[in-house]
C-alpha cells in the first residue's frame, strides 16, 4: 500500500468529548426550582414541570419548572423593582457587570459547550468554537456600549423592563444577543428560553449570581408558548424582543398592537447562496457545507437555496455530492462529527415531511450513502435538484439539513431568483470578481450579505432582516437602539377625527377662480378614483374648499407609483440633497401664501403661522443636508474581513401626517424619508389637507422624479388601514388617534412592515429632536455586507 492509498483507507476514530462535568451538573441541580426570579431559585407556583431530553438518544435529561402566569408576574415585578437602580447606575458600573459575566462564562466555557451539545444536539465543534465564544464576545463587547451610553446615544433612555423570548437553535447565543445589549442600555430583563433547550440559560443564571448581577436585573423563566404569551401580554413589560418563527412573530405583532411596547422580531429566512461561474468552486463548496449544514440546517440564515450559474452547475453539484459523502453524521459529542441530530422528533418529522412533499412536487432528492446512528433524531444531509421556484423546498423554511438547488444564467436572473421569497434575512455571494459581488450585494433583499463566505457573525455587526424575517437588528450600534427610546417630545392625546358638518361657504379669499384640489400620484394631479370629495373647514368651521376623498384604489395606485420611482432610490445622496434644497427654496418663495393659508385654516396667529412655514423650510434644508451624510459604517470584526454597514432605503414608506402643525408635521416626516431614498405615500392632515394640496405646485417645480412623493387626501383611519394591509408598503409612520395607531400595528402583519406610531399622541414638531436622527434611522435598513480579504 503506498502512502496515498494509506491516506485514502484511513478512518476516523471516535474522539468523544468528556461529559462527566455536565452530567455532574445535571445530577447536582434541583430542576424543580429552575425559575430564577429576583435573584432566587423558585419552583413554578402551580408546581408544573416540562421535560427536556437529549436529541442524540431521546433520553430524559431533566424535568424543569414550567413558568405560569403568576411566575411571569413575579419575574416582571422583580425586573421592575430592579430597574430604577440599575438604569441610574453609572455606565462604568454596568460595564463592570457585563465584563464580569463575560469572564465568568469564559471560566466555564467547556461546561457551557458540552451542555449545549447535549441539550440541543449540535456538534461539539460548533458549540465549543462558535456559539460559546461568540456569546462571551457579546458580553465583553457590550461592556463598552454600557460605559459609553451617554456619549454615544444622547437624548435616549433605556426602554425599561424587557421581555425576551428565544428559540432552541442557538440557546446560549440567542440569550447573549438579547441580554447583553439590554443590560448595556440600562434595562432589566425577563428571558424565556425555548422549551427544548433550557439548560444553558439555567447555567447562565448561575453565572449571573457569581458575576454580581444585582438581584432582579436578569430573570430567567423556562416555560413554553403560554409563558411566552404571558410575557408578551404583560402590562409591566415595555419591550418585547423575540427570536423565533415568522408565524409566532406575527402573533406577537398583533398582540402588542396599541400597547406602546417596543418590538423587535428576528424571524425565519430562506437565504440564497449564489455561486457565479467565476467563483472559486472548492471554496464555495466548503462555504456551502457551512451555509446549510451548520447546526443541521437549523439556522435562520441558512443558505438553503443554492443558486448556481448554469455553466458551472454540473461541476459544482458533482463537487457538492462528493463533499456530502464525506460529512460525518453522528454523536454531537464526537469532535469529528459534522452533523448531529435535529432537536426533537417533531422537527425530524417535519423535515422528512417537507422533503417528501418537495419530491412529490418534482424535486430530485439525493442523500449520501451513510449509516445513521440507531438512536436519536438524525436526518441525512439532503440535496434537492431540479427544484422549480414554486417548489415547497424553494419557498418554505425547512429548518433542517436540506438544500434546494436551482440554476441561473445572468446576474439579473440570479438576483430575481434570490429575491423571490417573502423573507429577507441573509444571502451569500460567491465570485472572484469583487466588482460583481459588490454589484449584487446591494440588490439582494437581505439584512446581511456575505461575500465569499457565510454565517459570519460578530457582536459589533448588526444582524437581522426585514419583511417576513422581522424587524430590528441585534448586535452593533443599531442593536443598541432596540433597547433605547428617543426622548421624542410627545404631547397631548389625539382625538379621533369626527365628520364635520360644513354648510356655509367661507368668505371669498379673493382668488376668484374655483380651485379643485385633487390627489397627487405619479407626479400628476389626479381625480380620486371614487370621484367623491371631502369638505374642508376653515378656522371658523366654514367651507374653505374641497379635496379628493381618497380610497383603497387611490392608495394602491400611489403605492404602485412609489414602487416604480426607482430613479429616486438609486439617486446619489448628493442628487437627493439638491432636490430637497430646491424644494425648500421653492417653498421659501411662497412663505407668505402658506402662512396665510395656515392662519385661514387653523386659526393660529400670523406670527405662529410664519414660524411654522419658516421652520418647515429649515427642516427641509436640514434633511437635504443629511441626505449625503447619514451614512453607514465600516466594522472591523475579529476576522479577516471588513463589514460594511450600509444604509439602504426602507423602500415605500406610508406616512399618515398629523392635524397639529399640518405643514411642519408633514414635512418633518416626509423629508427624512425622502432624504434617505425612500419613496413616499403621504396621507396629509385630515382636518387641514389644503396645506398639502397647495404643496403640489411646489413639488412639481422641484425636480422630484414622478412617484417619489404621492399624496392621497382623505380619512385617516380608512387610508391608514389600507396602507397597513398593503404588502408592497415597506414602512409606515403614523401620527393619529390611539385607535388608528393600534389598528395599523395589528393590520401590518401581512408583510411585517416596519411601523412607527406616535401611539395616539401629538408630537412637538418644533423640537430639535425631531430634526435629528430619530426619523433618519427609521428611514433606513442597515445592511451588513461582509467582505473577507487575504488569500
Ligand atoms: P417558535 O416561534 O415556535 O418558538 C420560539 C420561541 O417562542 C420559543 O421560546 C417558544 O416557546 C415561544 N413561543 C411560541 N409560541 C409563542 C407565543 N404564542 N407567544 C410567545 N412566545 C411563544 O420557533 P422555534 O421553532 O423555536 O425556532 C425556530 C424559528 O426561529 C425558525 O423560524 C428560525 O428561522 C427562527 N430563528 C430566527 C433567528 C433570527 O435571528 N432571525 C435566529 C434563530 C431562529
Q: Which tens digit of pLDDT belongs to each residue from 336-367?
A: 999 999 999 999 999 999 999 999 999 999 99
Model confidence at 499: pLDDT above 80 = no
Judged by DSSP in three states, 102 sits in helix
Query: What is the Cα–Cα distance from 708 to 561, expressed in whole angstroms?
Result: 8
Residue 69 parent element (H or E): helix 69-88
* Closest C-alpha to 328, from 289, 302, 288: 289
Give the pLDDT mean for 449-467. 97
Task: Report the first-to-last Cα separation within the chain, whole angstroms.
Answer: 35
Q: Which residue in 738, 595, 580 sits closest to 668, CA to CA? A: 580
Q: What is the DSSP letter of 89?
A: S
**402 Cα: distance to centroid of ligand 1 (angstroms):** 20
Q: Mean pLDDT over residues 610-625, rounded?
A: 98
**pLDDT at 259 exceeding the cut of 70:** yes
CB 561 within 8 Å of CB 707: yes
pLDDT at 406: 97
The pLDDT, as a whole number, for residue 501 is 72
Neighbours of 527 (CB within 10 A): 13
Q: Which of 244, 421, 448, 468 to mutate to test the pocket of ligand 1 (most atoms within 8 A of CB)?
A: 244
241 lines ligand 1 (CB under 6 A): no
| Helix ranges (DSSP H) in 13-68 | 20-27
Residue 404 predicted with pLDDT over 70? yes
| pLDDT tops 60 at residue 788 | yes
Q: Which residues contact 432 (CB under 8 A, 6 or more apart)?
A: 278, 279, 280
Residue range 408-447, pLDDT digits in tens = 999 999 999 999 999 999 999 999 999 999 999 999 999 9
Evaluate whether 500 touches 775 at the Cβ level (below 8 Å).
Answer: no
Where is 411: in which H helix or E strand?
helix 411-418
Question: From the candidates 208, 300, 301, 365, which is the catalytic residue?
Answer: 300
Which atom of ligand 1 lies nearest, measured to the CA of 266? 41
266 is catalytic: yes
Report the nearest atom of ligand 1 relative to the CA of 232.
20
Q: Which pLDDT band, with edges at 50, 70 and 90, does 7 fall under? A: confident
| Mutation pick for ligand 1 pocket among 130, 131, 167, 350 (CB with most ligand atoms within 8 Å) | 167
Burial string for 561-587 (b: 16+ CB within 10 Å, else e) reads bbbebeebbebebebbbbbbbbbbbbb
Residue 22 has a CB neighbour count (10 Å cut-off) of 24
737 lines ligand 1 (CB under 6 A): no
Total-model pTM: 0.96
Closest ligand 1 atom to Cα of 268:
34
Q: Are 544 and 506 spatial neighbours (Cβ–Cβ below 8 Å)?
A: yes
Distance CA 540, CA 101 (A): 64
Q: Smallest Cα–Cα separation from 634: which of 476, 520, 768?
A: 476
716-725 and 552-564 helices, crossing angle to 10°: 50
Alpha carbon distance 560, 555 (integer Å): 8
Q: Please tell me the predicted confidence (pLDDT) of residue 11.
A: 79
Is residue 300 part of the annotated active site? The answer reads yes
Which residues pair with residue 374 across a beta bridge? none
pLDDT grade, residue 10 (50/70/90)? confident
DSSP letter string, 207-276: HHHHTTPPTTTEEE----HHHHHHHHT-TT--EEEEES-HHHHHHHHHHHTTTT-EEEEE-----EEEE-
Q: Lowest mean pLDDT of 244-253, 387-396, 533-542, 701-710, name the range.
A: 533-542
- 192, 165 in Cβ contact below 8 A? yes
Amino acid at each position: 500500500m503506498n502512502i496515498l492509498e494509506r491516506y485514502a483507507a484511513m478512518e476516523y476514530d471516535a474522539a468523544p468529548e468528556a461529559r462527566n462535568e455536565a452530567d455532574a451538573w445535571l445530577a447536582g441541580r434541583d430542576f424543580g426550582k429552575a425559575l430564577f426570579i429576583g435573584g432566587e431559585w423558585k419552583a413554578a407556583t402551580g408546581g408544573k414541570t416540562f421535560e427536556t431530553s437529549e436529541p442524540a438518544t431521546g433520553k430524559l435529561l431533566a424535568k424543569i419548572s414550567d413558568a405560569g402566569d403568576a411566575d411571569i408576574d413575579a419575574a416582571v415585578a422583580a425586573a421592575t423593582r430592579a430597574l430604577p437602580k440599575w438604569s441610574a447606575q453609572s455606565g462604568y458600573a454596568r460595564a463592570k457587570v457585563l465584563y464580569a459575566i463575560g469572564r465568568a462564562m469564559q471560566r466555564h466555557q467547556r461546561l457551557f459547550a458540552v451542555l449545549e451539545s447535549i441539550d440541543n444536539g449540535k456538534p461539539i465543534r460548533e458549540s465549543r468554537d462558535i456559539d460559546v465564544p461568540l456569546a462571551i464576545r457579546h458580553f465583553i463587547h457590550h461592556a463598552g456600549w454600557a460605559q459609553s451610553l451617554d456619549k454615544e446615544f444622547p437624548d435616549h433612555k433605556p426602554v425599561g423592563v424587557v421581555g425576551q423570548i428565544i428559540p432552541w437553535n442557538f440557546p446560549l447565543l440567542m440569550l447573549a444577543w438579547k441580554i447583553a445589549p439590554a443590560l448595556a442600555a440600562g434595562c432589566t430583563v425577563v428571558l424565556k428560553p425555548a422549551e427544548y433547550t433550557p439548560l444553558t440559560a439555567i447555567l447562565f443564571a448561575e453565572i449571573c449570581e457569581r458575576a454580581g448581577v444585582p438581584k432582579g436585573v436578569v430573570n430567567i423563566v423556562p416555560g413554553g408558548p403560554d409563558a411566552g404569551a404571558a410575557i408578551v401580554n404583560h402590562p409591566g413589560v415595555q419591550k418585547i424582543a423575540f427570536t423565533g418563527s415568522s408565524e409566532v412573530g406575527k402573533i406577537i405583532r398583533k398582540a402588542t398592537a396599541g400597547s406602546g411596547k417596543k418590538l423587535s422580531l428576528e424571524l425565519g429566512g430562506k437565504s440564497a447562496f449564489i455561486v457565479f461561474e467565476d467563483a472559486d468552486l472548492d471554496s464555495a463548496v466548503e462555504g456551502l457545507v457551512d451555509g446549510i449544514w451548520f447546526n443541521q440546517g437549523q439556522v435562520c440564515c441558512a443558505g438553503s437555496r443554492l443558486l448556481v450559474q448554469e455553466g458551472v452547475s454540473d461541476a459544482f453539484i458533482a463537487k457538492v455530492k462528493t463533499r456530502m459523502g464525506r460529512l460525518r453524521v453522528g454523536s454531537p459529542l464526537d469532535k469529528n462529527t459534522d452533523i448531529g441530530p435535529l432537536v426533537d422528533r417533531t422537527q425530524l418529522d417535519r423535515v422528512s415531511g417537507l422533503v417528501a412533499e418537495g419530491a412529490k412536487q418534482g424535486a430530485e432528492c439525493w442523500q449520501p450513502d451513510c449509516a445513521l446512528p440507531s438512536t436519536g433524531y438524525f436526518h441525512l444531509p439532503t440535496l434537492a435538484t431540479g427544484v422549480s421556484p414554486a417548489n415547497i423546498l424553494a419557498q418554505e423554511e425547512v429548518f433542517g439539513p436540506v438544500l434546494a438547488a436551482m440554476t441561473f444564467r445572468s446576474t439579473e436572473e440570479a438576483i430575481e431568483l434570490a429575491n423571490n421569497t417573502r423573507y429577507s434575512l441573509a444571502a451569500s455571494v460567491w465570485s472572484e470578481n469583487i466588482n460583481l459581488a459588490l454589484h449584487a450585494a446591494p440588490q439582494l433583499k437581505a439584512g446581511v450579505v456575505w461575500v465569499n463566505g457565510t454565517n459570519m457573525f460578530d457582536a459589533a455587526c448588526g444582524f437581522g432582516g426585514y419583511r417576513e424575517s422581522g424587524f430590528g437588528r441585534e448586535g452593533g450600534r443599531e442593536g443598541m437602539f432596540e433597547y433605547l427610546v428617543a426622548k421624542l417630545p410627545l404631547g397631548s392625546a389625539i382625538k379621533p377625527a369626527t365628520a364635520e358638518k360644513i354648510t356655509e361657504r367661507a368668505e371669498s379669499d379673493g382668488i376668484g377662480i374655483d380651485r379643485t384640489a385633487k390627489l397627487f400620484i405619479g407626479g400628476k394631479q389626479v381625480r380620486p378614483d371614487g370621484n367623491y370629495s371631502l369638505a374642508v373647514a376653515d378656522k371658523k368651521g366654514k367651507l374653505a374648499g374641497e379635496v379628493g376623498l381618497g380610497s383603497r384604489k387611490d392608495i394602491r395606485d400611489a403605492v404602485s407609483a412609489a414602487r416604480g420611482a426607482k430613479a429616486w432610490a438609486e439617486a446619489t445622496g448628493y442628487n437627493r440633497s439638491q432636490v430637497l434644497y430646491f424644494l425648500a427654496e421653492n417653498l421659501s418663495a411662497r412663505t407668505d401664501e402658506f402662512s396665510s393659508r395656515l392662519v385661514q385654516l387653523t386659526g393660529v396667529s400670523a406670527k405662529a403661522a410664519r414660524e411654522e412655514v419658516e421652520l418647515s423650510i429649515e427642516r427641509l434644508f436640514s434633511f437635504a443636508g443629511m441626505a449625503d451624510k447619514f451614512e453607514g459604517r465600516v466594522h472591523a470584526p475579529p476576522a479577516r474581513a471588513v463589514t460594511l454597514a450600509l444604509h439602504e432605503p426602507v423602500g415605500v414608506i406610508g406616512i399618515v401626517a398629523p392635524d397639529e402643525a399640518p405643514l411642519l408635521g408633514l414635512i418633518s416626516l416626509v423629508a427624512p424619508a425622502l432624504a434617505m431614498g425612500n419613496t413616499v405615500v403621504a396621507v396629509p392632515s385630515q382636518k387641514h389637507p389644503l396645506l398639502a394640496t397647495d404643496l403640489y405646485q411646489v413639488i412639481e417645480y422641484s425636480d422630484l422624479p414622478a412617484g417619489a412623493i404621492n399624496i392621497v387626501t382623505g380619512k385617516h383611519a380608512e387610508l391608514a388601514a389600507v396602507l397597513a394591509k398593503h404588502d408592497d408598503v415597506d414602512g409606515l409612520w403614523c401620527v393619529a388617534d390611539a385607535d388608528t395607531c393600534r389598528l395599523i400595528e395589528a393590520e401590518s402583519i401581512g408583510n411585517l412592515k416596519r411601523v412607527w406610531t406616535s401611539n395616539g399622541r401629538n408630537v412637538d414638531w418644533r423640537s430639535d429632536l425631531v430634526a435629528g436622527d430619530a426619523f433618519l434611522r427609521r428611514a433606513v435598513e442597515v445592511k451588513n455586507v461582509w467582505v473577507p480579504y487575504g488569500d
